[in-house]
Structure 1
Amino acid sequence: MEFARFNLAKTSFVIEGTYQPGDYDHDIDEQCRLFVDGQELSLADSLSIRNHSPCGFNWGYGGSGPAQSALAICLHIFQNSHVAEALYQQFKRAFVAGWEPQKRPFTVTIDVADFLIDNRITLQQALIRETEEDEWKSWELVEEAHNVLIPPVEFRSPSVVRPLQPKPTSQYQIGDVVQTTAAFLDSPAGSRAVVYECYEGGGISIITEAGDDLGGFSIEDQDSYLQFLYHADGFTYSFRSVSYLYADWRRGVFMNVFR
């Protein structure tokens, strides 16, 4: 498999944040704006990938507003949605959470070279996912064209080899709905989630009712932080990549799982 390529023209960037207080007497909302090297970032572009903070950007702490800011900045400087999705939470902790008190103007210069080195494994995994997704899209186009020209009889696309092979376990299976007993990322304790992937050895991955991918849980983590609720009969899911996962959530694939 030939991995997707990732190149940066530079590693140093000037980040500027501005704040406009609200004036409710004149129907003016408060607004935080972000600029990278003088170019304003789009909130809508980042919301189309992950909706952490529809009310806008923020910084200076570790919540949803800074998460949205980190995603928007990563989309701009890395120019790769797979890389941005994989790294923005780490980027938030490494940079955004420490930029001035929240809702205060700031200007900083950052260099992401060391950050990328520190997160090189996550970066490589993101590029693998991008390659897998590109291969799936290519084969889907081939299969679609083939079905138009020739009735689908025995045409099969080759399977893509993933680093971990999903395998249902006796403890949890795809379609099990659980409830968290602690807060993870921006999801509070008590969030409902569904198991969308099981791994050999007992690990599982879950996505919440609100669309937050909470990542992998070992058997020990499952015992400590998850409570089984019920199994969604008839629900099946074949995980391909994080991007496909979020797209499927937005399309309502998981909607009927939660009673």
Structure 2
Amino acid sequence: MMLQHREDPMASYTGDRTIDGISVLVDGKPLSPHYDQLRLTEHGFEWSYEGPEPAQLAFALLYDHLHDATAAKALYESFMRRVVANFDNEWELSSADLDEAVAALRSGQTA
């Protein structure tokens, strides 16, 4: 199964937690929470633990990368537990990192 990608196959996703708050960017622009596809919280993004805000981030990252709500909904909980919950205060993911994570999650789902 081919993965669908953003128009820029080398997208860069970054997150930073500072005294001024949370920042999550894709190629330097704010990442949408994609509430129109799935609303898990009213409180935006978080990471480094398991919960609704990290789950929203997991879904948003997957949906933005895959452009497939069904796939993102199927994978976001595992992606949150295995990836987002383990982010440091500052983190960065590339499209290649997301491809690798999605492939690992999909292979784990069939095992």
TM-score exceeds 0.5: yes
Higher mean C-alpha deviation, range 91-100 or range 58-67: 91-100
Aligned to 1:7: 4
Counterpart for residue 48 of structure 1: 36
Matches of residues 71-150 of structure 1 in structure 2 within 5 Å? 71-100=59-88, 104=89, 106-110=90-94, 111-120=97-106
Percent identity between the aligned chains? 25
CA contact (8 A) 2:79 2:105 kept: no
Unpaired runs of at least 5, structure 2:
none
State the distance in 1 between where 2:15 and 2:103 align.
Answer: 26
- Give the structure with the higher percent helix: 2
Tell me the CA shift for residue 40 of structure 1: 1.4
TM-score when normalising by structure 2: 0.73
Q: C-alpha displacement at 1:48, in angstroms?
A: 2.4
Task: State the 1:94 CA deviation.
Answer: 2.1
What is the rounded CA distance, in whole Å, between the counterparts of 1:20 and 1:113 in structure 2? 28
1:37 paired with 2:27, answer yes
Which letter maps to 1:84?
A
| Alignment deviations for residues 93-141 of structure 1 (CA, whole Å, 9 cap, x no partner) | 22111111xxx4x132351333232333699xxxxxxxxxxxxxxxxxx
Shift of 1:5: 6.3
Q: State the match for 1:60 in structure 2.
A: 48
Distance 1:52 1:6, change over 3 A: same
Contact 1:71 1:88 in 2 (8 A): yes
SS at match of 2:59: helix
**More contact order relative to length (CA 8 Å, sep ≥ 6):** 2
Change (3 A) 1:7 1:98: same
Counterpart amino acid of residue 27 in structure 2:
D
Q: Match for 1:108: what amino acid?
A: E
Shift of 1:81: 1.2
- Deviations along 1:169-228, one digit per CA (max 9) or x if unpaired, are xxxxxxxxxxxxxxxxxxxxxxxxxxxxxxxxxxxxxxxxxxxxxxxxxxxxxxxxxxxx
User: Which amino acid in 2 is paired with 1:16?
Assistant: T
Report the aligned-residue RMSD.
Answer: 3.0
Contact 2:5 2:66 (C-alpha < 8 Å) held by counterparts: yes
Structure 1 residues 87 and 6, CA gap change in structure 2 (3 angstroms): same
Unaligned runs of 5+ in 1: 22-29, 124-259
Q: Deviations over 1:68-112 (max 9, x none)?
A: 111111111111111111111111122111111xxx4x1323513
